[in-house]
Structure 1
Amino acid sequence: MPHYGVRRPFMTRWRDNDQYGHLNNVVYYEAMDTAVNAWMIVEGGLDPASSPAIALVVSSSCDYRASASFPEPLEVGIGVERLGTTSITWALGILRPGEDEPIAVGRFVHVFVDADSRRPVPVPDAVRAAVAGQLLD
């Protein structure tokens, strides 16, 4: 089980529950995507509206281990599995506050591309520097 160096709060919403009374699977993806992008904006200086390079998700997965439901507060744990030349593979977890065992484990692969041409480019230096501190052993 990875140790997530960053944990971002994720408040569940009324609309997140599905007809079975638990969070719908898409909510987990939404939470992970929001947490990673917010972290890159704050810690890596990424500006999706004006940066010359942007990050596109090319692969994602999520394994569900336990259920949650509104109004439960949750957290998204962020770690980095791999930092490549043009890509970042994120190791993500949905956790209950104060607990280390994730209720869901996710993985996103971001590829950085030129905002105009959509061709791969190196991970921006500021993002690379921020991400380097989150690499998992």
Structure 2
Amino acid sequence: MAENESLQVQLEELNYILLQREQEIAGLKENNAADAELRSMLDMQLEELQLMQNRIGKHQQKAEGAEEREFELHQELSQAVKVQQQYSDLFQQYTYINTQLEDIQAELAKVKKRNVMLQQIAVKIGEMESTLENITMERDELKARLTELEKLQAS
């Protein structure tokens, strides 16, 4: 009986130890499950982080593309400003040359008017010279006749 009691005490001690071990195992299983749940959450968060990184990468590419396009537009705008300035300069030159042309045309009109007047004067001078020549010839003829008449009267 004493042996039975001793075995009974040992059995109770072993059952107690077994119960503690089972409780430890249950705790480890709970920890394991919690760890698995945490791993799952971490994996999900890692996937989410990777998706976000991909989105950020795409947005960065878009931003770089937008910056590049902005730079190109800035260059086009600078070029357009230069072209506009050249156009303004050319327009000013055109206006200046047009004004000079109008001045030259006015001068040309004056010169043409003078030429017409000079031609009219030249025609009048020609007529006068012709008339003078005719008068001179008539005078010379009259002188010659007068001289002849004087000779005839003197003879």
Scaled to the shorter chain, the TM-score interval is under 0.3
Name whichever structure is richer in strand by fraction: 1
Name whichever structure is richer in helix by fraction: 2
Greater RCO (CA < 8 Å, at least 6 residues apart): 1
TM-score w.r.t. the length of structure 1 is 0.18
Which is greater in Rg? 2
TM-score w.r.t. the length of structure 2 is 0.16
